[in-house]
Structure 1
Amino acid sequence: MATLAATAAPSVTPSLALPPSQFARLQPHTYLLAHLSPPPASNQPSIRANGRAPSQFRVTSANAGSLTHTNGSAVVRVGDTTAVCGVRAEILHTDDIASWSVSSSSATNSNKRRRLANLGEKPTEEDEEDKEDAGFEDEEDRAHMQDLNLLVPNLSLSTGCAPGFTPGAPPSALAQSLSHQILSLLHSTRLVRADDLRIWYQPPNLGPEDLERHNESEQMDVDAGQGAGSEESKPREIKAFWVLYIDVMIISLAGNPFDAAWAAVLAALRDTKIPKAWWDIDNETILCSDDISEASKLSLRGLPIASSFCVFEADAAAGWRAVVIPDAEHQKAQDQRKKGPQQKWILADPDGYEEGLSQERACLVVDKPKNGKGKTVIMKMEKHGGWAVDTEDFRQLIDISGQRWDEMKRILDQC
């Protein structure tokens, strides 16, 4: 027995190190901080746990025309977050609109045409952007788009896209918030032109002889003055509108759903074709052409691209102290001014893991001229959840958003 005890293998000391997957679950904040703030002696760059640089976006792909039963559709994938968007166009008759007055609408359009004629301009699509830059904002277009609800977005997360969203569940607060953000951005950017959604009718210009033939039974008297005035064309009438139902479905959620959903909306609207429609005076209804070649695409205003960011702070309790201790924010600002290790990182296109470790979020929507050369125009800029992002940080985020615009334009043009 003594011999057996002497030849037995020595006991192995268990390792105290944790695998990276367990370390990430047990200490998520420390795990991400270890990646973003490596030891100075290692000479390693600041890198996120997913292998991206702080200002790097996930791989993005887009495919348009994926759904055959819609007027326009697109699938956009940003990393592991995937959004599907379908656009359906339905007709809204002006007879079904309460308090609709064709005469007032026609008078407004006539006044607009006379105003543009006096300025030597024509109300064409090519000149519309120049007129807007000159300060001619069409309040009637804005009223039609918003008051008549011609754009109806709806986003759904109850598809089993993530463990927290089970199929068949009622709309979550996040889904309703994203739907409202998309609607607000559609209206603020004025992406869809109201004239693309109007269905016009031009009344015929009946001369004196036509009126006499048309009213033989009534024996209407038409004098020379009426004949001279009849040479002027009658104003057009709006008989109906196209209503665009924009349905977005998140089929895979791995962080930052807004950027993916908005990119899917943009790609779907660029793919949308509106059938040719006209007012049939004999049947007093709207008729549509089945010929796809006669359908027309939407003439969108620009290409606003959304870029979202989150702020990761080295101090995990910084947000809590800012609420409980009144002077915590002032003390934090003084600490940041001192030379020392980096205290915050602004992460572009955060995934679900990073979103759970950050409280402050920022979102920028920017646009550029069609040729991509020119100043970056800020369409929307918002921040919530903290005070870490300052003016200098926003300047850097604008440059990053401009680079993201160039990348997204290339992707959307190829889909």
Structure 2
Amino acid sequence: MATPTASAVPAAPPSLSLPPSQFARLQPHAYLLAHLSPPPASNQPSIRANGRAPAQFRVTSANSGSLTHTNGSAVVRVGDTTAVCGVRAEILHTDDIASWSVSQASSGNTHKRRRLGDLGGKPTEESDDTYADAQDDEDRAHIQDLNLLVPNLSLSTGCAPGFTPGAPPSSLAQSLSHQILSLLHTSRLVRADDLRIWYQPPNLGREDLERHNEDEAMDVDAGPGAAGLSKPREIKAFWVLYIDVMIISLAGNPFDAAWASVLAALRDTKLPKAWWDIDNETILCSDDVSQARKLSLRGFPIASSFCVFDADAAAAYRAVVIPKADEPKRRGFKQTWILADPDGYEEGLSQERACLVVDKESNGQGKTVIVKMEKHGGWIIDTEDLRQLVSMSAQRWDEMKQILEQC
């Protein structure tokens, strides 16, 4: 009886398993679901496809002063998402503002009403509060109405697939620019007084007729009604800050990286000493770098973004991938996870997103203040979840403050 040859032995059937990279492309929902909800017998923790825990943010680094031809700059990298921000300052003369005379007249009436109120016997605290409110309204009007902060975000060619050279600005870039502008106004990060260029008219007495030099004609630190000055100060010009942000690498969550770069660049911004030259009737700036002054920013707002992954979007694969998996969170029959700092892969699998901007008081108590909160795309996040997100954002604030202060 002849023995069978090696070629006659049937070969083993090919394996039907797929490599993880192909599984992630073919069935992205099922792939992420398998990581977030592993079988109980495996004793593996719930992790994301990128290896992070659901509440874990990506590694962040920052560097300031990277651009030489700007008043301030910074580079912030959050994971593989990198944003570069440069701040350029230009002078806006009040003579070029069409409504300046009208706004000055209304402002003068407000100060006049306050003085008349004090003379009429009204309580000092009430008049001070009224004056403070008027000052806040004036600061807000100068920043917003005069457009003293002009952010612009662009997505560089090749930062992600789909961004080709010569293409018009994408809707994502325009939306991020609007978000940055809205947050600058809401947080009131930049003080209007840092952007004002003052002029103090001299007392034209006998001995003061010829005193029109820069040191005596303009005093930045002196307040209205200073001793020995009978004429009030005048605002001759404003600094306009052009805040240009470029995303050179996009791997998800561009807003957090862009806003962190804006905050770091503004902290690095220095404005040269400027004064009004009465002889030439123009604004002059000093070339001495030591006389430049930094912006006195109001607060330290940090943005933290989150997304919601819903397992029901992969319901067709759930019975095959995790037939007996534990459900860490249930709302009726829904299984969901809230993911901090989502990357590009996770953003494509989520519909509901939330962004919290928080700050902490500097009075020693460390109380968390919610500067802005946005949520869109669904209704899964409830009140309990928002409390957890605020707590996570407060921890993120501590990390980012330490990173940006050291850059």
After TM superposition, the score normalised by the length of structure 2 is 0.84
Partner of 1:76: 76
Show the 5 A alignment for 1:133-172: 138-172=136-170
> Which amino acid letter does the alignment assign opposite residue 16 of structure 1?
L
**1: distance between equivalents of 2:111 and 2:282?**
24
Alpha-carbon distance between aligned partners in 1 of 2:174 and 2:306, rounded to the nearest angstrom: 21
In structure 2, how many angstroms separate the alpha carbons of the residues matched to 1:352 and 1:32? 13
Give 1:40's aligned residue: 40
AA aligned opposite 1:285 = T
C-alpha separation between the residues in 2 aligned to 1:236 and 1:29?
64
Q: Does 1:316 align with 2:313?
A: yes
Name the residue aligned to 2:223: none
How far off its partner does 1:105 sit? Answer: 7.0
Letter matched to residue 92 of structure 1: L
Amino acid at match of 1:350: P
2:275 maps to 1:278: yes
In the aligned structure 1, how far is the partner of 2:118 from the partner of 2:91?
29
Q: How many angstroms apart in 1 are the aligned matches of 2:372 and 2:151?
A: 19
AA at the equivalent of 1:45: P
The 8 Å contact of residues 106 and 237 in structure 1, kept in 2 or not, is answered as no
* Distance of 1:106 and 1:62 partners within structure 2: 41
Against the structure 1 CA distance between its residues 113 and 295, is the aligned structure 2 distance closer, same or farther, given a 3 Å change threshold? farther
Unaligned stretches of 5+ residues in structure 2: 212-226, 316-328
Give unpaired runs (5+ residues) of structure 1: 124-130, 215-229, 319-334
8 A Cα contact 2:189 2:297, kept in partner: yes
Cα displacement string for residues 180-227 of structure 1 (whole angstroms, at most 9, x for unaligned residues): 00000000110000000000000001236767x99xxxxxxxxxxxxx
Q: Is the 8 A contact 1:158 1:171 kept in 2?
A: no
What residue number does 1:382 align with? 374
Contact 2:358/2:371, CA 8 A, preserved across alignment: yes
Aligned length: 371
Residue in structure 2 matched with residue 336 of structure 1 by the alignment: 330
Query: Is the partner of 2:139 in helix, strand or coil?
Result: helix
Letter in 1 for 2:341: D
Cα deviation for residue 159 of structure 1 reads 2.4
What is the CA-CA distance between 1:57 and the residue it aligns to? 0.3
CA contact (8 A) 1:158 1:168 kept: no
Structure 1 CA distance for aligned equivalents of residues 276 and 208 of structure 2 = 21
CA drift at 1:361: 0.4
1:110 CA displacement: 5.0
| TM-aligned CA distance change 1:252 to 1:367, over 3 Å | same
CA gap 1:24/1:152 in 2 versus in 1, 3 angstroms: same
Equivalent position of 1:413 in the other structure: 405
Which of 336, 340, 355 does residue 363 from structure 1 map onto? Answer: 355
**1:221 counterpart residue number:** none
The one-letter amino acid paired with 2:330 is: Q
113 and 66 in structure 1: CA distance in 2 versus 1, 3 angstrom threshold: farther
The DSSP-based 3-state class of the residue aligned with 2:354 is: strand
Residue by residue over 1:344-396, the C-alpha shift from the partner in whole angstroms, topping out at 9 and shown as x without a partner, is 00000000000000000000000002377421100001100011101100000
Q: Which residue of 2 aligns with 1:99?
A: 99
- After superposing on structure 2, the runs of 4+ consecutive aligned residues of structure 1 that deviate more than 4 Å are 6-10, 108-121, 134-137, 208-211
Please tell me the root mean square deviation across aligned C-alpha atoms, in Å. Answer: 2.9
Change (3 A) 1:19 1:283: same
Give aligned-pair identity as a percent: 81
Alignment match, 1:325: none
Paired residue secondary structure (2:99): coil
Instruction: Tell me the secondary structure at the aligned position of residue 260 of structure 2.
Output: helix
Contact 1:106 1:235 in 2 (8 A): no
Instruction: Tell me the distance in 2 between the aligned counterparts of 1:364 and 1:406.
Output: 14
Report the CA distance between 1:12 and its aligned residue: 2.9
- 1:98-247 → structure 2 map (5 Å cutoff): 98-101=98-101, 104=105, 107=108, 111=112, 119=124, 138-207=136-205, 233-247=230-244
Q: Which amino acid aligns with 1:252?
A: S
Contact 2:358–2:368 (CA under 8 A) maintained in structure 1: yes
